[in-house]
Amino acid sequence: MDVKIGVDNVAISRFGANLLFHSTFLNRCFTSKEQEYCLSKTDPSPHFAARFAAKEAVIKALSGFDLILEHNKIEITNDARGRPSVHYLTDEPSYSHLHTDVSLSHSETSAIAVVVVYR
């Protein structure tokens, strides 16, 4: 089994109210499902920050397999229990054999994500 790890830490202030009105950035980095989830929260900033950190961590881990995906081709969702998961929005066969685990956390000022990708 080949295992790669990625981690990223993001300042929540980067996702303040001003940024949330820039649909170009949101559409480039987040799927409509992610946007809907984050914008349903009283304060969407930490949720956007955590998902962005997760996407960056996924990108870092994938680079160990010489794979590249854009932010909006990686979707971070939550299952019924609230556990986050990663979905690759591509038909490329290289991604169908990957298994990905993600852990998200945030404080008042920063969000962090740790990702393990294995095949």
Question: What local confidence, expressed as pLDDT, does residue 22 receive?
Answer: 73
Residue whose C-alpha is closest to residue 30's, from 57, 48, 50: 48
Residue-range definition of the domain harbouring residue 47:
3-118
pLDDT given at position 1: 87
Q: Over its length of 119 residues, how does the chain's per-residue pLDDT go in tens digits?
A: 899 999 999 999 988 876 666 778 889 999 999 999 999 999 999 999 999 999 999 999 999 999 999 999 999 999 889 999 999 999 999 999 999 999 999 999 999 999 999 99
CATH assignment of the domain containing 16: 3.90.470.20
Task: State the pLDDT at residue 29.
Answer: 94
pTM comes to 0.93
What CA–CA distances, in Å, run from 18 to 44, 77, 116? 12, 24, 32
Number of structural domains found in the chain = 1
